[in-house]
């Protein structure tokens, strides 16, 4: 089975999200890939952090894009997850790339707009000079078509995925975007695949349409073994999960049960 278990912000159920500790733990738990969030600091560094500000992860309120790397490095982003994680710092993208094992993938979700493109592509180029195999496993993802288009212009061979979130459209009593909307936007971005939020709309016909368009489909964020098994049967390529090691074991047990 080629289905991939991708650690969402690292092994974020067990360790503070987007830290080197969570990412290293995900590798130890056997994750096929790790997904991280990336944005740019006020002095032009690509850092791994999800929120626009630091309030949720630290006791200090700083806007990431308006703060220098040195100032962000002073913040403890581990203590809020438990005293055993105290001292974890916001890593740079380059530091995370450095600990990607051979044969593993890193999904880099860009939270900034196009201003991050020069730094992001520079970092990816430096990784490519170090190890061609590693460069092939670095995947850029974003909700922003402009970001994906900018990366493709600078590095045409980079794998890029469009991120989509399903939301209700009350007047039409449907959920949007539709699979046709997503495929149309992915073509505009020259994307290689889709990362979509989990929803019952993601079923076998949905996956078949994505596959027919020549794209891969990943679903986030899934920590339920039964839903994961459904997505495997539907034809999804993988799930983003906070519990990669546990979920893989649970799904294997579920799929080997005589009732399945």
Classified as helix, coil or strand, 84 is helix
Q: What is the pLDDT along the chain (260 residues), one digit of tens a residue?
A: 599 999 999 999 999 999 999 999 999 999 999 999 999 999 999 999 999 999 999 989 999 999 999 999 999 999 999 999 999 999 999 999 999 998 899 999 999 999 999 999 999 988 876 555 555 689 999 999 999 999 999 999 899 999 999 999 888 788 999 999 999 999 999 999 999 999 999 999 999 999 999 999 999 999 999 999 999 999 999 999 999 999 999 999 998 776 66
Percent composition of the chain: helix, strand, coil (DSSP 3-state, to 5): 40, 20, 40
- Choose among 214, 217, 221: nearest CA to 241: 221
| Distance of alpha carbon 91 from alpha carbon 9, whole angstroms | 12
Q: 109 near 129, Cβ under 8 Å?
A: no
Q: 222 near 202, Cβ under 8 Å?
A: no
| Distance of alpha carbon 15 from alpha carbon 214, whole angstroms | 36
181: CB partners within 8 A, 6+ apart: none
Q: 15 near 21, Cβ under 8 Å?
A: yes
Going from the N-terminus, what domains does the chain have, and what CATH number goes with each?
Answer: 4-256 (3.20.20.190)
């Amino acid at each position: 089975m080629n289905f991939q278990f991708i650690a969402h912000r690292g092994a974020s159920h067990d360790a503070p999200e987007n830290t080197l500790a969570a990412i290293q733990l995900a590798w130890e738990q056997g994750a096929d890939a790790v997904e991280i969030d990336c944005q740019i600091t006020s002095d032009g560094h690509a850092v791994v952090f999800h929120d626009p500000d630091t309030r949720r992860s630290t006791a200090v309120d700083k806007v990431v894009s308006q703060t220098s790397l040195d100032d962000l490095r002073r913040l403890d982003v581990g203590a809020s997850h438990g005293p055993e994680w105290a001292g974890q710092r916001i890593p740079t993208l380059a530091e995370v790339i450095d600990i990607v094992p051979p044969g593993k993938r890193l999904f880099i979700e860009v939270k900034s707009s196009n201003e991050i493109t020069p730094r992001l592509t520079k970092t990816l180029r430096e990784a490519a000079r170090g190890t061609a195999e590693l460069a092939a496993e670095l995947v850029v993802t974003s909700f922003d078509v402009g970001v994906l288009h900018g990366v493709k212009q600078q590095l045409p061979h980079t794998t890029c995925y469009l991120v989509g979130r399903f939301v209700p459209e009350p007047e039409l009593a449907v959920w949007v975007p539709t699979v046709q909307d997503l495929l149309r936007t992915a073509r505009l971005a020259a994307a290689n695949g889709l990362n979509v939020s989990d929803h019952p709309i993601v079923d076998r016909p949905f996956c078949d349409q994505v596959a027919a368009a020549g794209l891969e489909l990943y679903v986030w964020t899934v920590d339920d073994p039964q839903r994961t098994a459904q997505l495997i049967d539907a034809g999804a390529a993988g799930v983003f999960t906070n519990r990669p090691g546990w979920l893989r074991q649970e799904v294997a047990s579920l799929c080997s049960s005589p009732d399945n």
